[in-house]
Chain A
């Protein structure tokens, strides 16, 4: 069985501060991990993915994520948060099946 966990329902951060949205995974085989963002009443937008190679993955809108195999984590980070980053973030994993496993989602709130 595979699972993706996002331990925080909500993350609050002040504008200009660094942000981290956490994700841990448990998948069989090589993990393929994605981050998506969803703004209110919109579809999901792809941010970045880890397939293989460098553990630090850079993505859209200044986001990056660090793959850590020993800690089975794939945390999303940004050095300086913007109010416009406020949205719902999903970590998604694939572990050898054709069906993706979504984390429960983390609501990011960036305060001015």
Chain B
């Protein structure tokens, strides 16, 4: 099973709301990733977790707060977002990070976020 699931599929929120995105995988992967993707553009890496620890933060604003409660689950907490944060948020996982040049990343279907 090479499935990464993401909930919700769609999310509409106001700029003062607090919401969370959820990502789950049961492939035993120890590296998990958050990407942001604008329409018809490549995904932009936001965060990388390795063995439940934050390994890479690509200078993401603090209104995005990632969390990795266990090896199967990855959350992205959202607070005080701006309309320009509207995008497709993709989660991905791979077996391990240290050999990530050869490991395949498996992507979830994404959460379509709209900030009003």
Contacts and interface: CB of A to CB of B under 8 A. Distances in A.
A76 B83 CA distance: 36
Interface stretch (A13-21, A64-72, A96-104): A96-104
A41 B88 CA distance: 8
A42 B6 CA distance: 11
A30 B99 CA distance: 13
Contacts of A51: 101-102
Contacts, number: 58
A102 B55 contact: no
Interface residues of A, number: 25
A74 interface: no
A102 B101 contact: no
B45 A99 contact: yes
Nearest to A101: B42
Residue among A36, A41, A98, A100 with the highest chain B CB neighbour number at 10 A: A98
Contacts of A42: 109-110
A43 B4 contact: yes
A35 B107 CA distance: 13
Interface of B: 4, 6, 40-43, 45, 48, 55-56, 58, 88, 90, 92, 97, 100-102, 104-110, 112
Question: Which 10 residue pairs are nearest across A and B when measured between Cβ atoms?
Answer: A102-B42, A43-B107, A94-B101, A44-B107, A32-B101, A43-B109, A43-B110, A51-B102, A43-B108, A46-B104
